[in-house]
Amino acid sequence: MASLKELKGRIVSVKSTQKITKAKKMVAAAKLRKAQAAAEAARPYAERLEGVVASLASKVGGSDSAPKLLSGTGKSDTHLLVVLNSDRGLAGAFNSNIVKAARDKALELQAEGKKVIFYLIGRKGRPVINRLFPGQVIENYETTGIRDIGFEQAHEVSAKVMELYEAGAFDVAHLFYSKFRSALLQEATGQQLIPVPAPVDIPTSSGAAVEYEPDEEAILADLLPRNITIQIFKGLLENAASEQGASMTAMDNATRNAGDLINKLTIVYNRTRQAAITTELIEIIAGAEAL
């Protein structure tokens, strides 16, 4: 049985941990409101832009004159998985759920005979991906030290993705991030970036005419890269909100668990202390009777 000193030390240690987790929960709750507002504000624009580009993809079909970002390379041998993670932990299963979704997709593609490569944003997913898929991570984006990851970082990531695509490094790109539902629920999500998938409910050979003003080439040259940047930006915003929600929930659970442990240790401490006092009294009484 642990001594009174050891028990008291453990109680003090758990109380210190509880203060940290409670403070972390309050910080995450304060950051969550701003991150949630940013994610929800970006959704309508990102979804509408994705819908417009997807509609164009359904109309161009396999046209030879269509841009590669829209129609694809004509094959799907190599797939790039862009995985968005955070640099910090203490967020429950937030990072592991994203990595799990990317891992499942990679294994599915490899089972079909496809080659899979990774572009990792954030530190937390790297060890697992590197262990499961050695030599398949071709690019890492370092976010350490960036306080608020935003549109500038999304633009840099999308520029690198398009550079790899133009160089023929891959045929299809997928984006993985955590979609924010609520502080209690974050959903690991996968989305195809390149080429833009046509909507399921719109026939590919619909034959509908699209008029471009002023110039088709100029509009698509601006619209298609912009869509990739916006989708990555949306993923970063969703991740930021999901991370704070997951962190708040995890720290709340940790605070509660610390409280329960403190109560249990206090009971053990009091019982041990009472047993020690009783033993001393028995020894004193026995000594007095002996005299």
Report the CATH number that the domain containing residue 269 is assigned in CATH.
1.10.287.80
Domain count, the chain: 2
- Tokens 């599915």 correspond to what residue? 108
Amino acid symbol at 203:
P
CB neighbours of residue 21 within 10 Å: 20
The string of DSSP codes covering 202-216 is S-TT-------SS-H
- Residue 204 is predicted with a pLDDT of 46
Question: Phi/psi at 201 (nearest 5 deg)?
Answer: -85, 0
Indicate the DSSP class of residue 196: P
Cα distances from 226 to residues 49, 162, 174, 220, in angstroms, run 9, 11, 16, 9
Looking at every residue in the chain, the average pLDDT score rounds to 82
Instruction: Please check whether residues 97 and 226 belong to one and the same domain.
Output: yes
Q: Could you give the CA distance from residue 143 to residue 158 in angstroms, rounded to a whole number?
A: 15
Instruction: Please check whether residues 226 and 259 belong to one and the same domain.
Output: no
- Residue 135 is predicted with a pLDDT of 84
259 in Cβ contact with 18 (< 8 Å):
yes
Cα distances from 240 to residues 44, 92, 132, 189, in angstroms, run 17, 14, 26, 14
Angle value at C-alpha 225, between 221 and 231, nearest 5 degrees: 150
Report the CATH number that the domain containing residue 81 is assigned in CATH.
3.40.1380.10
The verdict on residue 26 lying in a domain is: no
Q: What would the two tokens of residue 223 be?
A: 């619209």
Instruction: Please check whether residues 118 and 227 belong to one and the same domain.
Output: yes
Mean pLDDT across the stretch 280-287? 80
Provide the pLDDT confidence category of residue 30 given band limits of 50, 70 and 90: confident
Peptide bond before 195: cis, by omega within 30 degrees of 0? yes
- Residue 257 is predicted with a pLDDT of 92
Instruction: Please check whether residues 36 and 8 belong to one and the same domain.
Output: no
Amino acid symbol at 177:
Y
Please tell me which residue, 271 or 286, carries the higher pLDDT value: 271
178 in Cβ contact with 97 (< 8 Å):
yes
The contacts of residue 197 (CB under 8 Å, 6+ apart) are 54, 57
- Residue 214 is predicted with a pLDDT of 66
Closest CA to 93 of 214, 202, 199, 242: 242
- Spacing of C-alpha 257 from chain mean position: 25
Question: Phi/psi at 233 (nearest 5 deg)?
Answer: -60, -40
Amino acid symbol at 96:
S
Q: What would the two tokens of residue 71 be?
A: 């129609």
> Could you read off the pLDDT of 162-208 as tens digits, one per residue?
888 888 888 888 999 988 888 888 888 888 888 877 666 555 444 55
Instruction: Please check whether residues 60 and 50 belong to one and the same domain.
Output: yes
Provide the domain limits for residue 283. 4-19+251-290
Q: What is the largest CA-CA distance in the chain?
A: 113
- Residue 205 is predicted with a pLDDT of 47
50 in Cβ contact with 86 (< 8 Å):
no
Please list, residue by residue across 222-257, b when 16 or more beta carbons sit within 10 angstroms of its beta carbon and e when fewer do.
ebbbebbbbbbbbbbbbbbbbbbbbbbbbbbebbee
Instruction: Please check whether residues 36 and 120 belong to one and the same domain.
Output: yes
- pTM exceeding the 0.85 threshold for the entire prediction: no
Q: Could you give the CA distance from residue 243 to residue 36 in angstroms, rounded to a whole number?
A: 10
> Could you read off the pLDDT of 55-110 as tens digits, one per residue?
777 666 555 566 777 777 778 888 999 988 888 777 888 888 898 999 999 989 88
Mean pLDDT across the stretch 212-241? 80
